[in-house]
Structure formats: C-alpha cells, structure tokens
C-alpha cells in the first residue's frame, strides 16, 4: 500500500512530503537569488505561512533581507537581532498571526536569521520552523562560497581591493566542536590590508593563527595572504607547529623577500588541553582563567617576525607548551586593539580590553557575541577613525564533563 500524499507527524497542519522532497532536491541546484521564493515554498509545504531570509552584514550591525524590496533590521534593537545575538528563537506578534525569528547557524557560525510567519504556534510548527532554519543555513553556506550576489547583500559599503583579496582567504568568523570554540573579528571591514586570522579544527586539534603584516597597502595584504596559504599548506601536509612556521618563513623569503609579518600560531589538543604556541614578534597571547587574566602565563622569549631572510632569519623556532584548565580562554590580538585612542589621545588599553571580555563572558554572552560587542566598543571609542587594523581571536577549551 503506497504512502498517502499528505502525512502528518502529530498535531498541526499536514505536510505534503512529496512536494517538500521536490523542493529540497530543487534547492540543491537553485541559484542563490532563487532562495527567497524557495523559502516561501518550503514553508508552505510545512504548513507555515511563509519565510524570509536575513543575512548579517560584515560588521554585524544589520540583518539584511535577501528580498531586495525589504529594509534591513538592526541587530541591537529588534526581535530579529535578539534571535541572532542569543542564538535562540524569538516570537513576535503581527496583525494576522506571529513571526518566529530563528537564528541561521552553520556549525558555530552565525549567518543571520529566518523569519517564519504562522497563524499560530505549537510544538509541531516550532519544530518545522527549526527544520527550515537548519535547511537554509546549510544552503546559504554551500552557495555563498561562489555567489557574488550573496556577498554583495552582506555589504553596506564599497570594499577596497586589498581587503577584497585578503577576505577571500579568511575562514568563517567562528569554528568549533563540542570541546572547543574559536571566534574572531576584524576591522575596518572594508579597508583592512595587513591583519588576518585563521582557525581550523582537524579531528581533536584546534589550529589558530593571527597575523599582522607591515604596511597598509596591497603588498601588505599579499604578504598576509601568502603567509596564510603557506601555513595551511604545511598543516594539510601534516606538519608540526614548527614546520608550519618554517614553511611560512621560507615562502615569504622566497616570494616577498622585503616583507614580513608578526604573528602567533597555536595548536590546542581538545582532548587533553595541551596548548602549543609560537610567537613571532607579536603581542603575547593572554590567558583568562576564572574571570581573571593570568599575567605573563603565555609570555615567551622574543622571536623574530615571520619572513625574515638571510642572516636575519632564525635558525629554529621555539615552540612553547602549557596545559589549559577547563573553561580557560586564550586571546590573540593585534596591537591596533590596545593602541586605539579616543579624542583626547587616551589608549583603549590592555586592561579595558580584557575587562570587557571578562565582564561580557561573566554576563553569559557567547564568545562570538562578546567579540561583536567589543569590536563595536573599540570603534565607538575611536569615533570610527581607525589608525590601524584591529583583529581579535578568542578560543576556549570546554571539554565534555
């Protein structure tokens, strides 16, 4: 006996499973610009009234609709923004029913929100709304890698060429697993040149890196891009941490012999908490434990920047090691963060920087939200007149209990 064309999974509106299957198959080949009508069709097949997709902009201030006829929504002052900030659904009443705002999340990366319209809400409709959000998060992630349209929708200003080149190399803002999470922010969003971050999870090992190239032009961006490519190449070949730094040293010395960058490269074993790091002429990482900074915990003897050639090149890189405790947080940052100045010339400073992170984390903010708020606070401190790039990367070790 064949299945009925309409099947219901409990209370609520019946689902046209055959039509839903057709739409999911169609989604695999749909153009990104076809996602808005597709979201509505999928919502209808799930017994919902409709759905709208919003992507967060590069600076995480606005939620931009893929429907070009609609206006963006503020991240900081809207139910949609609250769903994005807290990664938790929000429900708002409208004239003819309800809107359920659901976070669009791929792994640990926040992409935006999905607005689901429904006449009423029960457990079944909420579950179907979540299913829809999961589906479109995966679709957006798979399609934005090749879609200039999706990239353009997330921008609110014109991007300079060095920034365009460097951003093509950047990973998602947030990566992680059940044992560890790494998140990063970078400003100015449309005018960076020499700063960059990288992070990757390979089995039970978290790889993180922050770089700061000299200069603020296309060559600075090229230096950082070559460094990132060389580091990834060595990692993917199974190289040790010392091998990775050596590979970057040689790549820059060969291809850009007059340019170098400072940086910190780390490897965290998420099973044991063993952290290894190499600091190449960069501000030392900071360790936060039990809501306080452990002064000097990750300091190390100075080593030259990456990419120095000839007699200036180091004979060997020193790899340092420590063991983290559950809940420990490690901060990597570029000097533009603490050297940011207000109108009177006062620096933002290291104490203000670490205190902001500690207080926000203690208030229950997720790491990605802490950095979003922090980077905006630094921008406001300088009245958006940045003198240098700002990059912050934070990773936490949270082993399963």
- Could you read off the pLDDT of 356-396 as tens digits, one per residue? 999 999 998 999 999 999 999 999 998 887 778 899 999 99
Task: Identify the three-state secondary structure at position 242.
Answer: helix
pLDDT digits (tens, 9 = 90+) for 192-247: 878 999 999 999 999 999 999 987 788 999 999 999 999 999 999 999 999 999 99
The first and second tokens of residue 296, run together, are 């000097």
User: Residue 299 corresponds to which tokens in the numbers above?
Assistant: 């300091």
Rounded Cα gap, residues 211 and 230, in angstroms: 13
Residue 358: Cβ within 10 Å count: 17
pLDDT of residue 6: 41
- Calculate Rg over the CA atoms of the chain: 23
**Secondary structure class of 383 (helix, strand, coil):** coil
Contact indicator for 226, 251 with CB cutoff of 8 Å: yes
State residue 258's pLDDT score: 86
Which residue reads 């990566």 in tokens? 175
335-to-24, 187, 234, 370 alpha-carbon distances in Å: 47, 13, 27, 19
The residue among 398, 390, 33 whose CA lies nearest residue 196 is 390
Tokens standing for residue 175: 């990566």
Cis status of the peptide bond prior to 188, with omega within 30 of 0: yes
CA–CA separation, 121 and 119 (whole Å): 7
Q: So what's the pLDDT on residue 384?
A: 81
Token pair for residue 399? 């082993």
pLDDT at 383: 84
Q: Are strands 180-187 and 195-202 parallel, antiparallel or unpaired?
A: unpaired
Report phi then psi at 305, rounded to 5: -60, 170
Looking at residue 2, its pLDDT comes to 38
Tens-of-pLDDT digits for all 401 residues of the chain? 334 334 444 444 566 678 778 888 888 889 999 999 999 999 998 899 999 999 999 999 999 999 999 999 999 999 999 999 999 999 999 988 999 999 999 989 999 999 999 999 999 999 999 999 999 999 999 999 889 999 999 999 999 998 999 999 999 999 988 899 999 999 999 998 789 999 999 999 999 999 999 877 889 999 999 999 999 999 999 999 999 999 999 999 999 988 999 999 999 999 999 999 999 999 999 999 999 999 999 999 989 999 887 777 777 899 999 999 999 999 999 998 988 888 888 999 999 999 999 999 999 899 999 999 999 999 999 888 777 889 999 999 999 75
């Amino acid at each position: 006996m064949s299945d009925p064309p309409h099947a219901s999974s409990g209370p609520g509106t019946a689902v046209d499973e055959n039509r839903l299957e057709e739409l999911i198959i169609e989604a695999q080949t749909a153009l990104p610009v076809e996602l808005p009508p597709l979201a509505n069709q999928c919502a209808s097949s799930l017994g919902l009234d409709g759905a709208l997709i919003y992507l967060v902009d590069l600076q995480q201030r606005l939620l931009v609709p893929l429907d070009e006829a609609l206006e963006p929504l503020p991240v900081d002052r809207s139910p949609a923004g609250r769903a994005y900030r807290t990664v938790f659904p929000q429900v708002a009443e409208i004239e003819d029913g309800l809107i359920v705002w659901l976070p669009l999340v791929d792994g640990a990366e926040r992409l935006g929100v999905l607005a689901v319209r429904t006449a009423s809400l029960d457990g079944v409709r909420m579950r179907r709304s979540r299913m829809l959000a999961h589906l479109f998060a995966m679709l957006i992630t798979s399609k934005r890698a090749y879609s200039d349209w999706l990239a353009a929708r997330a921008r609110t200003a014109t991007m300079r060429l060095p920034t365009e080149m460097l951003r093509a190399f950047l990973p998602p803002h947030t990566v992680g697993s059940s044992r560890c999470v790494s998140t990063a922010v970078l400003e100015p969003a449309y005018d960076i040149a020499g700063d960059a971050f990288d992070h990757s999870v390979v089995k039970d090992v978290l790889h993180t890196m922050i770089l700061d190239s000299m200069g603020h032009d296309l060559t600075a961006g090229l230096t950082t891009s070559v460094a990132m490519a060389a580091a990834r190449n060595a990692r993917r070949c199974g190289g040790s941490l010392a091998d990775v730094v050596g590979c970057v040293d040689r790549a820059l010395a060969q291809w850009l012999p007059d340019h170098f960058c400072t940086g910190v490269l780390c490897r965290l074993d998420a099973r044991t908490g063993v952290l290894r790091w190499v600091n190449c002429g960069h501000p030392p990482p900071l360790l936060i434990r039990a809501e306080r900074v452990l002064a000097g915990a990750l300091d190390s003897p100075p080593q030259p920047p990456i990419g120095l050639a000839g007699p200036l090149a180091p004979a060997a890189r020193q790899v340092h090691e420590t063991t983290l405790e559950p809940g420990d947080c490690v901060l990597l940052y570029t000097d533009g963060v603490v050297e940011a100045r207000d109108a009177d010339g006062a620096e933002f400073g290291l104490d203000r920087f670490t205190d902001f992170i500690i207080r926000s984390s203690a208030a229950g903010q997720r790491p990605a939200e802490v950095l979003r708020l922090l980077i905006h606070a630094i921008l406001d401190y300088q009245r958006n007149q940045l003198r240098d790039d700002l990059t912050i990367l934070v990773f936490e070790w949270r082993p399963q209990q």
